[in-house]
A and B are shown apart, each in its own frame.
Chain A
Amino acid sequence: MNTFDVRELVLTYDGKAALQHVSMNIIPKQVTALIGPSGCGKSSLLRCLNRMNDLIDGCNVEGEILFHGENIYAKNYNVYELRTKVGMVFQKPSPFPMSIFDNVAYGPRCQGINDKKTLENIVKKALVDAALYDEVKERLKESAMALSGGQQQRLSIARTIAMQPEVILMDEPTSALDPIATGKIEELIFDLKKHYTIVIVTHNMQQAARISDYTAFFLMGNLVEFNTTEQIFRQPTQAKTEEYITGRFG
């Protein structure tokens, strides 16, 4: 069963269409990359998957997105519960102005987990899984603002993992990072794939080719092509896809 089934999704901002009749599915425990030029709607689609678009004024969604067969845009759907299962990592690392420990413990605490021992275990496991624990274990009580950009981004991932979600959405997670930090995040994504379904928006074609199993190519709000990454990069069926991945526009 697919994790997500997107069906005939139409997304408009103040009446202007950003996504037109997009249908695709997200396969569990795989990395799906969304690629395409700026403004093609790939980030909009990502934000639909955990309904972060709700926060944007004038945003309207038609069609359905099924998460394990349930339409997340149905009335009375518990969006907060959805977001505990579908976490998100943003382009800009945005640790809260509090300690490293409190950052990671924030999500579980909001779910009412206050037991110190439990929290310590959750935080440690999340930091280990995000490949950050060894670097910060001596200073868990220090402010997260003092971490480097790459560490902050891994902290954001740890914060998301601490919720033990099924899906992690990543919105250009490495575009603000240097190549070394980017490399570490890519390795991390490779490890995380064993336990999580990952959807990643990226501008970087090589990145998509390196880390993803499936790739969807978007253009002007349309899903042009969706296939295994190997297919897309070896033998794209659409001319536009080939032009884009070979760098002829975009």
Chain B
Amino acid sequence: MMSLVGVMVLALIMGFIINRGVGLLTWDLLIGDYHPTTYNLSLPTTESLGGFARPNDLDESAFFSQMWGLGLMDDVDFEGKAVVRVIYVDAQSPLQMMRDKNNLERVVGLFPGLALEKVIFSDLTIGLSRTKAENFIILFDTHEGINDLLAVSSGNGIRGAIITTGLLIGFALMIALPIGIFSAVYLHEFAPKNNAFIHTMRKMIDTLSGVPSIVYGLMGAAVFIPFTSRISKAEGGNLFSGALTLAVMVLPIIISATIDALRAVPDDYRKASLALGANHTQTTFRIVIKSAVPGIMSAVLLSVGRMIGESAALIYAVGTAIKDHIILTEKSASLAVFIWSVMAGEVPNFELACSVAIIIMMVVLFINVLIKLVARRFALLP
């Protein structure tokens, strides 16, 4: 009964997230910039004006200029500010031939999705973003030339967050894997058994995996930010301090999972190897670790899964500023922190947050399936 309630609550949450977020899930979301790009365009010569028909599938609330073959609509940007959005540009429209104001050789046609900021027509009449779409269309219809057109793309892409997350995980694994695996090997294969100190160490490692990640985040802020600031030109949070924080966070996971993997290696292998005159080190590195590789693989996946969903530990250590161009010594936001950032603004962006949430969940799901597959292979092998 209670589990049914649990499942239903979960299904509701998932349903909500998928419902809100799935609309934005496009390739452009994954590769796009978060911050809008401004286009400064002009149309020096005009030809083939007029005679455009309003397409049938154009939104009811949109306004259409027959002269320019342009569809406009009142919209709000992700911050809730009113904008005039281009939603249709006819394939034959002269607007397709607009040029980059800064480089008149370059043709940059107006395209759907851009929001009009400012349009200066040939007689220097000006239309601004607060001008309603209806009035803009009237302006377009009464002018035959455009001197200057400022438009911004919608932004909201998460490429920067994906790159940040990838770099963080990569660096963190590079630090945590060798340390974690060698610690586990020492603790399980070399450390004296029945030793109080070693025993306490292992207890502590087990406890560490339960420490809330915000505590690691504080440690990152207190230790790793000053440390990385000293050895690089970073000021404040940066990707290196974030990676170090994550590395410390997943270390107990890697150690515990690797110890489990080593424990699963049959003692017969160790005995057989020693009986062949191999010494302890040879036995450990040539036989035991080799046999434990699939188990260590799932330790890696487990920690990647933990890191990709991590936000609290990174808020201080890497910061929350969403960046499109990632610089290692500067702040940026990972995927999970990205959710926090877009929700923390004055106007929370539910749709975008939910889209990112879906992406994170899909990756975690994929990793879990991968762990299962690795584990199954492991079970089949010996």
Residues of A within 8 A of B (CB): 50, 52, 55, 57, 80-81, 83-84, 87-88, 90, 92, 94, 96-98, 106-107, 109-111, 145, 156, 159-160, 163
Say yes or no: B290 contacts A87, CB within 8 Å: no
Say yes or no: A96 contacts B277, CB within 8 Å: no
Contact A55/B272 with A97-B381, A110-B286, A145-B382 known, Cβ cut-off 8 Å: no
Contact A96/B273 with A106-B286, A145-B381 known, Cβ cut-off 8 Å: yes
Separation of A50 and B276 alpha carbons in the complex (Å): 10
Q: Contact check: which of B275, B282, B286 meets A52 at CB < 8 Å? A: B275
Say yes or no: B290 contacts A98, CB within 8 Å: yes
Could you tell me how many residues of chain B have their Cβ less than 8 Å away from some Cβ of chain A?
A: 22
Say yes or no: A106 contacts B273, CB within 8 Å: yes
Q: Contact check: which of A55, A94, A98, A107 meets B278 at CB < 8 Å? A: A107
Separation of A12 and B279 alpha carbons in the complex (Å): 25
In the complex, whether B139 has a CB less than 8 A from a CB of chain A is no
Say yes or no: B277 contacts A111, CB within 8 Å: yes
Separation of A94 and B273 alpha carbons in the complex (Å): 10
In the bound complex, residues from chain A placing their C-beta under 8 Å from that of B271 are 52, 55, 90, 94
A90-B268, A160-B276 known; 5 new pairs, CB 8 Å cut-off, are: A57-B194, A80-B278, A94-B266, A96-B273, A107-B278
In the bound complex, residues from chain B placing their C-beta under 8 Å from that of A156 are 272
Say yes or no: A83 contacts B272, CB within 8 Å: no
In the bound complex, residues from chain B placing their C-beta under 8 Å from that of A94 are 266, 268-269, 271-272
Q: Contact check: which of A55, A57, A92, A159 meets B276 at CB < 8 Å? A: A159
Say yes or no: A87 contacts B276, CB within 8 Å: yes
**Nearest CB of A to B292, in Å:** 10
Separation of A19 and B286 alpha carbons in the complex (Å): 34
In the bound complex, residues from chain B placing their C-beta under 8 Å from that of A90 are 268, 271-272, 275
Say yes or no: A96 contacts B278, CB within 8 Å: no
**Nearest CB of A to B339, in Å:** 43
Question: What 6 A-B pairs are tightest by C-beta distance, nearest first?
Answer: A84-B277, A94-B268, A107-B276, A88-B275, A110-B278, A83-B277
**Nearest CB of B to A120, in Å:** 18
Separation of A111 and B358 alpha carbons in the complex (Å): 54
Say yes or no: A57 contacts B275, CB within 8 Å: no
Q: Which residues of chain B from 272 to 300 have a CB within 8 Å of any chain A CB?
A: 272-279, 282, 286-287, 290-291
In the complex, whether B193 has a CB less than 8 A from a CB of chain A is yes
Separation of A111 and B273 alpha carbons in the complex (Å): 12
In the bound complex, residues from chain A placing their C-beta under 8 Å from that of B270 are 55
What would 12 A/B residue contacts be, using CB atoms closer than 8 Å? A52-B271, A83-B276, A84-B276, A96-B273, A97-B291, A97-B381, A107-B277, A107-B278, A110-B286, A111-B277, A159-B272, A163-B277
